[in-house]
Structure 1
Amino acid sequence: MTEFALVLILFVGSHVFPAATGLRERLMLRFGRPLYLTVYSGLSVVLLIWLVSAASRAPYIGVWQTTRYLVVGSMALNLLAAILLACGVLRANPLSISLQSGPTDVEHPGVLAVTRHPILWALFLWALAHCLVNGDVVSLTMFGGFALLCVVSRPVLEKRAARRLGLEGYRSAMAVREGDLSQRLGRAASRQLAMEIIAGIVVFGLMLMFHEALLGVDPLVYL
């Protein structure tokens, strides 16, 4: 349990400390955004693997039993998470997490017409889904921590974007969400969005297919 607590603190701290102290911006200025993001992403993956490994060795303290209904609910959330991830990962999004740089395509914004933070929402739903089917103290702490990190990251990302883009740039990026929901859905609809949704469904299917091989648990056995 001590190892798990230590790695959890390191993982959360690695996401909170650089942004809260301005270290992230200073390192980007010195080494460049691509190099910083590459190194930071690699470190995050290493810490995540260590965290999951430490969680598997921690004592099991049950809170509730996994049921078929919880598994079905978890799968539904994971499917939505996979679709949001696929829809957001290759979209230029100056307001939030994105693998692409540049301004948002105002004419064809896709999922960004509905939410400013598709990847953040995907991670939140993924964490929530795993809380449902892992009713023990260690898993709830780990996945609940991920979900909480997503919640507190949203205002941080938006404040950072406002500083980086300036008033006019921020207003321009926000323009994709102008109008009521039906208008935004109309702008979001496109062939590209349909392909992204299909890609998300495929990703979800692959997750189910290889979940047991990678993590030792087959979610389908509960159905």
Structure 2
Amino acid sequence: MQPMSLLVTTCVLFVGTHFALSHPLRAPLAGRMGERAFLIIYSIVAIATFIMVVQAWRGMPPEPPLWVAGDALWAFASLLVLFASVLFMGSLIGNPALPAPNAAFAAQGAPRGVYAITRHPMMWGFALWAFAHALVMPTPAQFILSGMIAFLALAGSAGQDVKKARLMGDSWRHWAARTSFVPFARQLGGAPWGDTLPRPHALFGGIVLWIAATWAHGALGYMVAGIWRWIG
């Protein structure tokens, strides 16, 4: 199989098994084998297919970029990843979308910080991270990989809305009515911008994550990223 065909195949396999096991197959399999056994199988399949994607990615031959990523584009992409990092760190506390026992209680609070930006800050963090990588590494293989990650994150968020409405009922529907799927959509519609100010754990945690991740990018032999492109 050609390297590009292998990359596409493994990406489709990763996304397909994820959605199949997260939605149509979850209830019948979990009911038959038990929730604990199902989660073990789910994790094994997810890890195995992800490793296949990584191996296919590593096997891709060098490709010429479709455009030159200059300093301005790198600066924009770096800020985009910083924003994605803040969204991700903010999503780790008080997130009704996560399968936590206190999800219904968290959904009763007023959306603040990253949740005033979007009710799916973690997934949008992944999607924006993928988009930023496509901007500064504009090759067909990167487009496929970034597209897979962004699609999985955003389509998964849409599926999460449906699942949470079924599991949490009015608690989730009220939360969804006070939040937006697309970042800043409520603010553009008239909601106060002040509510979107990230909380300390999101802001400072996101900055630390961004600095560490971009440093590791270069330290592990990949392209130098973030502030390290200018201060290294």
Relative to the length of structure 1, the TM-score reads 0.80
Q: Which residue of 2 aligns with 1:206?
A: 212
- 2:147 corresponds to 1:144: yes
Contact kept? 2:127, 2:150, Cα under 8 Å: yes
- 2:191 corresponds to 1:181: yes
Alignment of 1:23-42 (within 5 A): 23-29=25-31, 30-32=33-35, 36-37=38-39, 40-41=42-43
- 1:82-112, Cα deviation, whole Å (9 max, x unpaired): 000000023231xx3x263322153464422
SS across alignment from 2:162: helix
Distance 2:20 2:161 in 1: 17
- 1:185-207, Cα deviation, whole Å (9 max, x unpaired): 44x668xx212211111000110
C-alpha deviation, 1:116, in angstroms: 1.0
C-alpha deviation, 1:46, in angstroms: 4.2
Q: Which residue of 2 aligns with 1:114?
A: 117
Q: Give the structure with the larger helix fraction.
A: 1
- 1:22-53, Cα deviation, whole Å (9 max, x unpaired): 21233444432x66456534543443343233
Contact kept? 2:215, 2:225, Cα under 8 Å: no
- Shift in alpha-carbon separation, 1:122–1:137, aligned structure 2, 3 A: same
Alignment of 1:42-57 (within 5 A): 43-57=45-59
Partner AA of 1:48 in structure 2: F
Distance 1:5 1:108 in 2: 42
Partner AA of 1:74 in structure 2: A
Distance 1:49 1:141 in 2: 16
Cα RMSD between the aligned structures?
2.9
C-alpha deviation, 1:9, in angstroms: 1.6
Alignment of 1:1-223 (within 5 A): 1=3, 2-20=5-23, 22-29=24-31, 30-32=33-35, 36-37=38-39, 40-41=42-43, 43-62=45-64, 63-93=66-96, 96=97, 98=98, 100-102=100-102, 103=104, 104=106, 106-107=108-109, 109-110=111-112, 111-166=114-169, 168-174=170-176, 176-177=178-179, 181-182=191-192, 185-186=194-195, 193-214=199-220, 216-219=222-225, 222-223=229-230
Contact kept? 2:60, 2:141, Cα under 8 Å: yes
Relative to the length of structure 2, the TM-score reads 0.77
Bigger shift: residues 126-135 or 22-31: 22-31
- Shift in alpha-carbon separation, 1:57–1:31, aligned structure 2, 3 A: same
Instruction: Structure 1: state its 5+ residue gaps.
Output: none
**Identity across the alignment (%):** 23
Contact kept? 1:114, 1:185, Cα under 8 Å: no
Partner AA of 1:101 in structure 2: P
